[in-house]
A and B are shown apart, each in its own frame.
Chain A
Amino acid sequence: MADGKTLITDVDHKRYDFRYAESSDEYIREEDGFTEEIIRRISEEKDDPEWMRDFRLKCLDIYNHMDMPCWGPSIQELDLNRIASYVRHKTDMKNNWDDVPDDIKETFEKLGIPQAERLSLAGVGAQYDSEIVYHNLKEEVAKMGVVYTDVETAMKTGYEDMVREHFMKLITPTDHKFAALHGAVWSGGSFVYVPKGVKVDIPLQSYFRLNAAGAGQFEHTMIIVDEGADVHFIEGCSAPKYNVANLHAGCVELFVRKNARLRYSTIENWSKNMFNLNTKRALIEEGGKMEWVSGSFGSKISYLYPMTILKGNDSKMTYTGITFSGEGQNLDTGCKVVHAGCRTSSVITAKSISKSGGIGMFRSSVVIEKAAKESKCSVSCDSLMLDSISRADTVPAMDIKAFDADVGHEAKIGRISDEAVFYLMSRGMSEEDAKALIVSGFADSVSKELPLEYAVEMNNLIKIEMSGHKA
């Protein structure tokens, strides 16, 4: 069995672990750590407007004065003095796939990115280390006035005011140490603006690849969905495995205006040396709707709790998430929501699977403000542990200030049932297939929310993970 396990795990990693060594003449790499000189160089490299440079320096100062977060799993192993803030290939952002440098192109082709674009996407962005290397938006979508680029380009092409008005306004640098760090060294990411009333039928997708060992990825995602508009944004993340720690500290700021809808899907499959300390927040105005879909499979340690502020009356939020924590992984995930407007509603559905000593923690925080009359919230959290050495915990927090709020919470934690495994085996399935089927079935209500190719990918991941599994 040990042989089988090694073999299958190897196959699994090959899908993500291939990499091209960056040669020093093709890549620019900042020295490790975060100093004023480094921040100034990054700012200069990017040709930031003055306000942005000053903002970066202010953030660095906040970062230097803040303590490390203390609520979640230990991140002591993360030595911030040994993280490179900025790594980029000496290439510009392309909008023609053929122009992308070969090593990068092959990396993304192995991950299926351009294929996905041809099949089912309205636009694609691909970030390699610190910079976006490819961006393309279908002509008919561009004609509707949709803007999809990176934040740097947005500032240079007429959207500087819009960026300035929204940049790190939802997630402020004083939120926590890694928000401050992000503000200082952010690079790349996505800027999306969907004009009033425009409905984009097929999704936009950004793919983030952190290829350099010992580096950080600090992409900034800003999406503004104007009144009555509708869009689905997908982000995918992966990295090859190294023996040194890598850091991901992105920020995602989402603005959903009156009666608009935004669906934000994430599949994160970072390698298991990654510290994924990511922050996501959405502000929803009257009648707007925010839909989060989140799949977390990778990373060594994750801190990830997308937050939604239901500011406008009748605004809505749904969160559907799944985490799969295996050997050596401690995934601390969850969801936060603040109900501020009247008749706001939120539905949180979370599933967690842990195996081979993995730890899955789910935290939810629900706040219903006094003014949020007739609001509704339901939280449900199911955990499945595949063996006796794995852990799953749920920490639900609720702060209900309104008298007429309708709030429900449900949590289930259980082990995989031997009886069910035997039932399936008695119908001809191998033990591995039986377990994989039970796990996929458990995940089913979440996987069917994922974009198709990711749902397929998730089922493959479960199969691969399970075939290496022996209780």
Chain B
Amino acid sequence: MTNEIILEIKDLCTTVGEEKTPILRNVDLTVGRGETHIIMGPNGAGKSTLGFTVMGNPAYEIESGKIFFEGEDITDLSADKRAVKGIFLSFQNPIEVPGISMRSFLKSSLQQITGKRIKYSEFNKTLEEALSLINMDPSYVDRDVNVGFSGGEKKKAEILQLLVLRPKLAILDETDSGLDVDAVRTVSQGIRAYKERYGGTLIIITHNAAILEALDVDKTHVLVKGKIVETGGADLTDEINRNGFEKYTDG
């Protein structure tokens, strides 16, 4: 099955900080529309950096290489413009934003991204639907964005945003870390709904096979020391879960 290419990363090298510490080294990655890709790798391999770089975090400097989204070069676009184009990043550590409720934050975000005014009734319907897909207590949307949420609630709230904003491409950075078994299942349901209902494309950064149970994985990439050292199918995920990264890190 060949899909139209939605994301193409070409020979990407990034550094961080004033010392320009290299993180990603010559990364190539091609993702087709509607596909699900898994990024695995030991701690510190640059997995989160990959997500941040695709989203446009200015803390990570692109030294060389290009990022194309739907055929367009987005290497120099700011994060907000990438969001409008349809890229979404679920944060490993979602940020608390006091003074604005999740409800109005999401509404204004949706309006920014779609460029359209959205009626309250319509928005509330979207929101309720999303809440029920992940069994989230509706009272959370009237609290300030992530403020005082537990780790698990923050992760759920990221998936809630995913289901409301319905981006073309979602990068999920360890959305399952720190969640209990039930929460992983709920979050995984949400991710599946995003894929099936809205035809979403996924790049999932994870250590955990449980989140993938309900999903058909197209490709697995192993990232070690800033390089993609192996790409395979769904079976590669299982293999790594059995054997770890030893064969990539030795020598």
Contact = CB atoms under 8 A, between A and B. Distances in A.
B80 A420 contact: no
Contacts of A431: 78, 80
Interface string B71-114: 00000001110111000110100110111100001001100110
Interface in A392-440: 417-420, 422-431, 434, 437-438, 440
Contact of A437 (B57, B83, B97, B161): B97
Contacts of B59: 418-419, 422
Contacts of B108: 429
A429 B104 CA distance: 13
Contacts of B172: none
A443 B98 CA distance: 9
A427 B94 CA distance: 12
B233 interface: no
Given A418-B59, A422-B58, A422-B59, A427 B99 contact: no
Contacts of B55: 422, 426
Interface residues of B, number: 28
B98 A419 contact: no
B95 A417 contact: yes
B57 A441 contact: no
A361 B117 CA distance: 42
B204 interface: no
B78 A425 contact: yes
Given A431-B78, A431-B80, A426 B88 contact: yes
A108 interface: no
Nearest to A434: B80
A153 to B, nearest CB: 43
A81 B161 CA distance: 62
B165 interface: yes
A442 B161 CA distance: 23
B78 A441 contact: no
A451 B9 CA distance: 52
B99 A440 contact: yes
B97 A424 contact: yes
A419 B58 CA distance: 10
Contacts of B98: 441-442, 444
Given A422-B57, A426-B83, A429-B112, A438 B89 contact: no
A332 B175 CA distance: 46
Nearest to B79: A425
Contact of B80 (A425, A440, A441, A443): A425
A419 B96 CA distance: 10
Interface in A422-471: 422-431, 434, 437-438, 440-445
Contacts of A419: 59, 95
Interface string A125-150: 00000000000000000000000000
Given A422-B58, A423-B91, A428 B84 contact: yes
Contacts of A427: 83, 105, 109, 112-113, 161, 165
Contacts of B100: 437, 440-441, 444
A442 B79 contact: no
The size class of the interface chain A forms with chain B is 20 to 34
**Could you say which of B91, B98, B144 has the most chain A C-beta atoms within 10 Å of its C-beta?**
B98
A440 B161 CA distance: 22
Interface string A96-108: 0000000000000
Given A425-B83, A428-B80, A430-B80, A443 B99 contact: yes
Contact of B113 (A428, A440, A445): A428
B163 to A, nearest CB: 14
Contacts of A426: 55-56, 79-80, 82-83, 88-89, 91
Contacts of B99: 437, 440-445
B95 to A, nearest CB: 4
Contacts of B89: 426
**Could you say which of B55, B97, B100, B113 has the most chain A C-beta atoms within 10 Å of its C-beta?**
B97
Nearest to B110: A428
Contacts of A440: 99-100
Nearest to B115: A428
A254 B109 CA distance: 46
B83 A423 contact: no
Contacts of A428: 80, 83-84, 109, 112-113, 165
A442 B97 CA distance: 9
A426 B167 CA distance: 11
A417 B59 CA distance: 12
**Could you say which of A428, A440, A443 has the most chain B C-beta atoms within 10 Å of its C-beta?**
A428
A443 B80 CA distance: 24
Contacts of A423: 91, 94-95, 97
**Could you say which of B79, B144, B165 has the most chain A C-beta atoms within 10 Å of its C-beta?**
B79
17 contacts: A417-B95, A419-B59, A422-B57, A426-B55, A426-B79, A426-B88, A426-B89, A427-B112, A427-B161, A427-B165, A428-B80, A429-B80, A430-B80, A440-B99, A442-B99, A444-B99, A444-B100
What are the nearest 6 A-B pairs in CB distance? A441-B99, A444-B99, A428-B112, A425-B79, A423-B95, A428-B83
Given A417-B95, A423-B94, A441-B144, 20 more contacts: A418-B58, A422-B59, A422-B79, A423-B95, A423-B97, A424-B97, A425-B56, A425-B79, A425-B80, A427-B161, A428-B80, A428-B83, A428-B109, A428-B113, A431-B78, A438-B97, A440-B99, A444-B98, A444-B99, A445-B99
